[in-house]
């Protein structure tokens, strides 16, 4: 009997790729996702349209869940190794690292819509086509979810790209198209994200076009809104009551929509500390940023549901502005401190809304409260980790005092024009709310 016939046959399709072959592919996917998460977080402050500011955080949170699953799976498949390095996958990971250096917001979003997310979607579909659902079932489960996420994301991004292209100048459009073309050609040269691995094709073709990333210390804001520094009179005038009844309903919804500063700050700290802290930080910061985006959307949805249009809604910048030029740990302090210091009032306000039969404000306030309890933990945890890592950093109390001082100093700069502007916006909103009330009663 020949050697070949000495054993039962084992050549089956599902055995084509071995444990370490697929581990390398999954490791590559993790690094690609990670680069895009950091890029999306960094760009949030620099992109004006509110829909994009609210939606990108959901995308990056979904991406972070996928990247986390990928990372865990690589560790399982390569046990006991906990080593996770770009290695031979550097040529393709370098192309994902280019995302953040897009020459402008339009180029950034267009590249997500036309290159990066489609490349990942195609790679995940290709992986699922060859994956052995028996041996590698856990990967199949989360990559199927990732495919669904990417399909939704691409639908969102196609709409955003169209809107941004419409609003862009011919020069901005040309820059964005050149960027996307250079990226596509670079991916063609480097090869797919598939099992065979990338080739080293030298410097990406985007190199002459990219711009070193700079965080938008002056945030881009949606011009359809009533743009201001202080988003309600009581911020700069202690005589203007937070209020009860419709005043409380409006103030609370305006506060929620004004959590845009918190979205931008969540993105800022994820971007600043992702390469300094452990992966768990990126996962927490992604969720933190997504939660703030949901809080903003809560306010926007309530206000538009009461008939307000964007031009009637104030969007302020003062807390974000207070940290301008400060180290990123101050932005983390701002997010931790100003978002959680009123946590105790949220349950009182939810009760007040219940007594007004304002179910939606109560509902949003209760869910917001649950999120804030998580955020209080995130802030305490990561400020402490940073302080342990960098003993020269101030402690949490000193950071919070500094945040208070910075915000108070900014409030001191309020001008008569700021006061006139926000009183006019608020009075118009209150008058409209009263007219709505009269119409229904």
Binding site for Fe ion (CB under 5 A): 259, 292, 295, 339, 375
Shortest gap between Cβ of 15 and Fe ion (angstroms)?
A: 49
Least spacing, CB of residue 378 vs Fe ion, in Å: 9
Ranked by CB distance to Fe ion, the top (closest) residue is: 339
- Whichever of 43 and 290 has its CB closer to Fe ion, that residue is 290
**Minimum CB distance to Fe ion, residue 372 (Å):** 5
CB count within 10 Å of CB 312 equals 15
Closer residue to Fe ion, CB minimum distance, 108 or 337: 337
Rounded CA-CA distance 361/344 in Å is 16
221 vs 256, beta carbon nearer Fe ion: 256
CB closer to Fe ion out of 114 and 295 = 295
Nearer to Fe ion, 109 or 254 (CB): 254
CB within 8 A of 205, min separation 6: which ones? 182, 183, 185, 186, 189
Residue 29 or 382: the one with the smaller Cβ distance to Fe ion is 382
To Fe ion, the closest distance from the beta carbon of 297 in angstroms equals: 11
Q: Report d(CA 197, CA 212) in Å as an integer.
A: 28
Instruction: Report whether the peptide linkage leading into residue 80 is cis, meaning its omega lies within 30 degrees of zero.
Output: yes
Q: Which is nearer to Fe ion, 186 or 340 (CB)?
A: 340
Could you tell me the smallest distance in angstroms from the CB atom of residue 342 to Fe ion? 10
What contacts 174, CB < 8 A, 6 or more positions away?
none
- Report how far residue 309's alpha carbon sits from residue 280's, in angstroms, rounded to the nearest whole number: 39
Please name the residues in contact with 387: beta carbons below 8 A apart, sequence gap of 6 or more: 393, 395, 396
From CA 228, how far away is CA 419, in angstroms rounded? Answer: 10
Query: Could you tell me the two tokens for 231?
Result: 């988003």
Closest distance of CB 276 from Fe ion, Å: 21
CB 321 within 8 A of CB 231: no
Q: % helix / strand / coil in the chain, to the nearest 5? A: 75, 0, 25
In the complex, least distance from residue 151 CB atom to Fe ion, rounded to whole angstroms: 28
């Amino acid at each position: 009997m020949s050697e070949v016939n000495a054993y039962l046959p084992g050549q089956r399709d599902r055995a084509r790729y071995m444990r370490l072959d697929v581990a390398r592919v999954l490791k590559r996917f993790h690094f690609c996702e990670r680069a895009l998460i950091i890029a999306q977080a960094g760009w949030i402050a620099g992109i004006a349209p509110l829909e994009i500011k609210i939606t990108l955080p959901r995308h990056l949170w979904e991406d972070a869940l996928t990247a986390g699953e990928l990372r865990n799976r690589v560790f399982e498949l390569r046990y006991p190794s906990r080593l996770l390095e770009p290695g031979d996958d550097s040529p393709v990971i370098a192309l994902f690292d280019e995302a953040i250096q897009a020459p402008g917001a339009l180029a950034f979003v267009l590249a997500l819509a036309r290159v990066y997310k489609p490349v990942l979607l195609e790679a995940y579909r290709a992986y699922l086509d060859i994956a052995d659902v028996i041996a590698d079932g856990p990967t199949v489960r989360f990559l199927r979810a990732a495919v669904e996420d990417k399909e939704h994301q691409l639908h969102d991004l196609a709409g955003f790209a169209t809107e941004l292209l419409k609003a862009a100048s011919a020069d901005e459009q040309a820059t964005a198209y050149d960027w996307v073309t250079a990226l596509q050609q670079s991916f063609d040269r480097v090869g797919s994200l598939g099992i065979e691995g990338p080739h080293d094709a030298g410097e990406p073709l985007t190199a002459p076009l990219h711009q070193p990333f700079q965080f938008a210390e002056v945030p881009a804001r949606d011009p359809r809104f009533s743009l201001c520094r202080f988003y309600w009179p009581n911020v700069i005038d202690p005589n203007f009551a937070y209020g009860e009844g419709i005043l409380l309903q409006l103030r609370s919804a305006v506060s929620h929509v004004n959590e845009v500063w918190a979205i931008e700050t969540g993105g800022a700290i994820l971007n600043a500390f992702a390469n300094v802290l452990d992966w768990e930080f990126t996962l927490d910061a992604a969720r933190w940023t997504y939660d703030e985006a949901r809080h903003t959307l809560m306010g926007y949805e309530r206000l538009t549901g009461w008939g307000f249009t964007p031009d009637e809604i104030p969007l302020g910048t003062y807390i974000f502005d207070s940290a301008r030029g400060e180290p990123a740990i101050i932005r983390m302090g701002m997010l931790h401190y100003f978002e959680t210091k009123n946590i105790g009032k949220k349950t009182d306000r939810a009760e007040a809304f219940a007594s007004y039969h304002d179910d939606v404000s109560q509902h949003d306030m209760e869910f917001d409260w649950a999120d804030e309890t998580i955020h209080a933990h995130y802030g305490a945890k990561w400020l402490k980790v940073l302080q342990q890592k960098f003993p020269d950093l101030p402690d949490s109390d000193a950071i919070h005092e500094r945040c208070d001082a910075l915000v108070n100093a900014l409030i001191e700069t309020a001008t008569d024009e700021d006061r006139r502007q926000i009183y006019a916006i608020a009075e118009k909103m209150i008058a409209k709310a009263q007219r709505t009330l009269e119409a229904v009663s």
